[in-house]
Amino acid sequence: MKSEEYLKESARTASTQFHTEIVEPAMLEHILEQAIKTGELVDIAKKSLFYGKAIESGSDIENYKGKSSNINPDAVAPEILHAALGVYTEAAEMLEAILKAMRGEAFDEVNMFEEAGDTEWYMAMMYRALNRLPTEAREINIKKLRQRYPEKFDSGQAISRNLEAEREILEAGTD
């Protein structure tokens, strides 16, 4: 699926609602601050795991040094973890730019587009690790969303999904 077609198809299933009466400004500010803070933590993990950077002393992560854990870091290919952490950090950078603009600074569209590109770079890493193509992911994603929203975005269908039917589409792939 070509980029132009994907942008058009994805618009059909996007919400155009904006409920600031539910998520009030103070609530939104708190959520954004927390997400950005977590993004910084994830960035430390990424730089230490994949660039060999030492963990700064005084960091929250240091408290876990020497502690036991039941997780197996080798259970998933490192590139998959790297890509997922990377997408997370880029999303946090986007949220940081959004929060700055919401606090009165000029919105930097050039920077937002840069972060979008950075996200694509991490997604490219994910596709390489999964040995699949982004075009294939887009095609399956649109098929899944057609099942979820036969006409257009619907908040009822967004909240209660038929996960079994969606899984069938995901497993069938592009055939």
The contact set with Mg ion (CB under 5 A) reads 90, 93, 115, 118
- Looking at the Cβ atoms of 9 and 118, the one nearer to Mg ion is 118
What is the closest distance, in whole angstroms, from the C-beta atom of residue 98 to Mg ion in the complex? 14
Supply 73's token pair.
Answer: 């870091």
- Looking at the Cβ atoms of 114 and 136, the one nearer to Mg ion is 114
- Looking at the Cβ atoms of 118 and 136, the one nearer to Mg ion is 118
Q: What's the CA gap between 99 and 95, in Å, rounded?
A: 6
What is the closest distance, in whole angstroms, from the C-beta atom of residue 108 to Mg ion in the complex? 12
Q: What's the CA gap between 27 and 110, in Å, rounded?
A: 27
What is the closest distance, in whole angstroms, from the C-beta atom of residue 91 to Mg ion in the complex? 10
Residue 58 neighbours by CB distance under 10 Å? 6
What is the closest distance, in whole angstroms, from the C-beta atom of residue 114 to Mg ion in the complex? 6
Residue 171 buriedness (CB in 10 A; 0-12 / 13-18 / 19+): exposed
- Looking at the Cβ atoms of 93 and 148, the one nearer to Mg ion is 93
Q: Which position's Cβ is nearest Mg ion?
A: 118
Q: What's the CA gap between 48 and 51, in Å, rounded?
A: 6
- Looking at the Cβ atoms of 18 and 51, the one nearer to Mg ion is 51
What is the closest distance, in whole angstroms, from the C-beta atom of residue 90 to Mg ion in the complex? 5
- The residues, ordered by sequence, that sit 6+ positions from 121 with a Cβ below 8 Å of its Cβ are 86
Q: What's the CA gap between 86 and 89, in Å, rounded?
A: 5
CA dihedral 54, 60, 61, 62 (to 10 degrees): 70
